[in-house]
A and B are shown apart, each in its own frame.
Chain A
Amino acid sequence: MVTEQQVWDALAEIPDPEIPVISLVDLGVIRSVDVSRDQVRVEFTPTFLGCPALEVMRDAMAERIAALGVQPDVQVISDDSWSTDRITPAGREKLRASGFAPPALRELGGPKLVQLQSNAFRCPYCGSQDTALENIFGPTPCRSVRYCRSCRQPFEQFKTI
């Protein structure tokens, strides 16, 4: 019989398809794991609804669970329970170390333009806060593009949602 911990461990080995330095567990998209006799039910919350990686994530989870010898039941839950605040401390550090500035914590009322245009964001390369917003949008829905005036390096900033 498979234990819940074995399932979590297996899911922790699945990389995010677009930012493979972090796992789905680091990303906080797995809301629950429920093990019954011969079936494992996983509740999965999408990050951004238009993210093309969602199907890849869902199929990868089903495949890993099936490899444990049990029937997977991956439920996609499109409610309001995922926020970038669910990215784990380990996940945030892995993002930073690979050049993605981790998302700022979400404030009451959500992010504001004036905040994005402020110097509250730190360059993941040199640590300077002298950074400027280049584009609210980036190569995937979850990222913005900023520029570090200190080390003159553009970098990607995970959006806070």
Chain B
Amino acid sequence: MNAQKLLELADDELILGWRNSEWTGIAPLLEEDVAFSSIAQNEIGHARAWYELAARELGTTADELAFDRQPDEYRCSTLVQLRLVPDWARTIARHCVYERSDQARIEALKQSEDAEVGGLAAKIDREEAYHRMHAEMWSERLKDEPRFSAALEELEPLFDVRDEHVPEFAALWEEMTMVRRSVAGATW
């Protein structure tokens, strides 16, 4: 599979994982603190697996791809770049939009002629099933809430937008790459 396509997948999962983790400690319910932290952990695990495949094609490492590129080199969707804390309605709307779009993408990847890509997509899908159930539960709970409907309308078109970086992405990148930039060769 084309390394640029792998990077799109990996970047989406890494940046969404990062955004989800911003709810750790401050979600409106303790259960959601746990849920968004756990989803973040899964998404970053998926990002690593996709970066590892891309790294082999590009002759580099997963960490270098995740943390050593310049902000304008990231290929993630605008949808995942947005900083939505502390807006819960928009956060849940993004969760629903992302999981639905990601499901279609994963389904297609499961049929990939590249057995490694197909196998990894199928493995990831087993975990994503729980993210989708969580989104489904919240979508049911908020379906009559106007702020939620408005957020869905706002965010739905953004999954396929990849040619621009929103202003708040720069701050995320600064924070995410700080250790790598300040301590060359750091491991943890």
Contacts and interface: CB of A to CB of B under 8 A. Distances in A.
Interface string A64-105: 000000000000001111110000000000000000000000
Given A49-B46, A49-B123, A80-B119, A116 B133 contact: yes
Contacts of A136: 35, 130, 133-134, 137
Contact of B122 (A80, A137, A138, A140): A80
Contacts of B39: 137
Contacts of B124: 49
Interface residues of B, number: 30
A82 B123 contact: yes
Interface in A43-61: 48-52
Contacts of B107: none
Interface residues of A, number: 27
B44 interface: yes
Interface in B55-90: none
B34 A141 contact: no
B133 A78 contact: no
Given A50-B46, A80-B119, A111-B133, A135 B127 contact: no
Interface centre among B37, B45, B48 (most CB of A within 10 A): B45
B102 interface: no
A134 B35 CA distance: 11
Contacts of A135: 31, 34-35
A1 interface: no
B116 interface: yes
Interface of A: 48-52, 78-83, 110-113, 116, 134-141, 145, 159, 161
